[in-house]
Amino acid sequence: MQSLTQVQNIKVKYVQYIFYAGAILSILSAILTLANPIVRYYPGAAISALLVGLFFAALDFFAGWYLNSLKPLSWWIALILLALGVLGGLIGLVSLNLLSLISLLISGYGLYLILQPDVQTLYLHRIQFNIFGAGSTPTPYPQQPYYQQAPAPQAQQTTPSTTQQAPKCPVCGTPLVWVEQYKRWYCTKCQKYY
C-alpha cells in the first residue's frame, strides 16, 4: 500500500510529465509552422514562429522542473500555464488543428491533477481551496499566530499508536513527532504543528 506522500508525488510527477510533453508539442508546433507554405515566403514570420515555439518549450520545461521545489509559487505557475494551455487548445480547435486537440486534452488532465486537494495540500501549506469538495471556500489549516504558537517539544513523545509508523511531513517528508500535550503532530525540521 502506498503512503499519501507517495500518491501525491506520483500526481506531481504526472503533472511534470505533462509539462515536458507540452514542451515537445511546442517544438513540434513550431516545426510544423515552418512547413507551412505561406510562412516560407515571409522569413521574419518563420523565425518568429520558431522563437515563440522555443520560448514556450523552455517555459514548459522550467515549470516542470520547478514543481520539484514544492513551493507555492511553483503550484501557481503550473496552474496559470495549464489554464492557458486549455484556453489555447480551445482557441486552436477553431482552426481544426490536431495538435490543439492534443494540447487541450493534456492541459485539461494536468489542470485536473493540480487541482486535486492532496496536491494542493502538498504545495499550499496554509490554505487549501477545496474545489472538488463540498464548497469552494478556503479552509485554513489550524495554525496559531506566531506569538501564541506552542513551543517546540523538548524530547520525542510517544506516538498515539506504537504499532503504526509515524506519518511524514507533507512539506519536507521527515517523520512527524506526536506531542501529547497538544494532541498534534510536529515536524522538527519545519518547526510546524500539523
Whether 90 is in a domain gets the answer yes
> pLDDT tens for residues 144-184?
444 455 556 565 555 555 556 778 888 888 888 888 877 88
SS3 labels along 117-137 = HHHHHHHCCCEEECCCCCCCC
- What confidence score (pLDDT) does residue 81 get? 87
Question: Measuring CA to CA, which residue among 134, 151, 136 is closest to residue 186?
Answer: 151
Residues 22 and 59 in one domain: yes
Whether 185 is in a domain gets the answer yes
Residues 102 and 185 in one domain: no
Segment 131-139 shows an average pLDDT of 46
Domain range holding 36?
Answer: 4-129
What is the C-alpha separation between 38 and 128, in angstroms, rounded?
Answer: 49
Residues 76 and 16 in one domain: yes
* Residues near 193 by beta carbon (within 8 Å), at least 6 away in sequence: 143, 149, 150, 179, 182, 184, 185, 186, 187
How many domains does one find in the chain?
Answer: 2
* Residues near 127 by beta carbon (within 8 Å), at least 6 away in sequence: 138, 139, 140, 141
What is the C-alpha separation between 36 and 135, in angstroms, rounded?
Answer: 48
Residues 74 and 13 in one domain: yes
How many CA atoms lie within 13 Å of 156's alpha carbon, on the beta-carbon side? Answer: 7
- What confidence score (pLDDT) does residue 148 get? 53
Residues 120 and 169 in one domain: no
Residues 160 and 107 in one domain: no
Whether 99 is in a domain gets the answer yes
Mean of the per-residue pLDDT values of the chain: 74
